[in-house]
Structure 1
């Protein structure tokens, strides 16, 4: 099984090139049986995407565009999404295992009660998103992603890592981040440092965190007063 490894975190990738596995092109992700397997869904341009109580297994979704998307109660196993644009995505009560998001735009997404296990976000845009009770049940990697002004609320990301991500004004509000690997990121504009207990950083990042804390506490430097 192929994996993607960055530092000490390894994510198991979807097994879509196994001998004997043939992906059939489909025109919809809906199924009367509640299960879509061994499929390729490509270049769909939808007004809305509304999918509930469905199991997506062994598939690729490429070039999907939908200005409004609502996903609920999904089970997703061994799936690759690439070049997708899902604006205003609402995704709730779902579990994702061995899933890759590559070059996807998920700006303004709202994820709530979503469990991730062996999930990779690579070169994705998740700016202005709200991720509530997101849980990393297994390894999760965000690499080369933009998370500007994204809010993590009550998340459990102890098995996650961020690598070369844009974390400008990214906010962490409550939750558990013990063991989360933040090495290789600029933390000088992160918010909610009180929630980031026992995370992993490089020593050089302590100055960045001091800068973030100074901004968060809105302190006044005495020399600025003396110069008046």
Structure 2
């Protein structure tokens, strides 16, 4: 039932209700806390004056999958374990493309020490924007790439056995990762941070437009299409950056 102000504060009330419920195990709570800690650490990395910020961000981003694996293992259920296998395979696939997306940005005068470019990178390489949006959707496990929790045979994926504060922390970590990824792509592709609000709106609206792909279609998209496309784009940009 909707309560107070036509249901506007319903998410807050539901969150308080989840926090007041009793949790099942200490391991599940710890894994959920670590999953929220990774996005908070990524938020601290987004500092314009920090040396090797981009390199540190990518290194920390690669750690974000392991709290979900811990959460799946700690639930002692076969459904979360299968979901964790899909998470690992999906993370390996999109991180390869993500690193290849970052290389042209370095070649186009966006230094490893910051995002302070004097022009918008996506104006010169609009394909990077499309690649970045697809990688961001895959990284935050949103539709059409929510295979870790959206398939009917997995029930609810890695958070099947979670409740109370554990489920709340996993939910917050997912949307915190979405926010951080939008800010990161905005800084890298547009050299400003306020475009992140538009990117977040796009990522949220995608779920109303696209249907969920099959898992084999995700692997086919990342390895058969996006990876060769990025390699060709790298070759073109490198030839323009260092002409013979």
* TM-score (structure 1 length as normaliser): 0.22
Question: Comparing both structures, which one devotes a greater share of its residues to strand?
Answer: 1
Could you say which structure has the greater relative contact order, defined with CA pairs below 8 angstroms and 6 or more residues apart?
A: 2
Question: Comparing both structures, which one devotes a greater share of its residues to helix?
Answer: 2
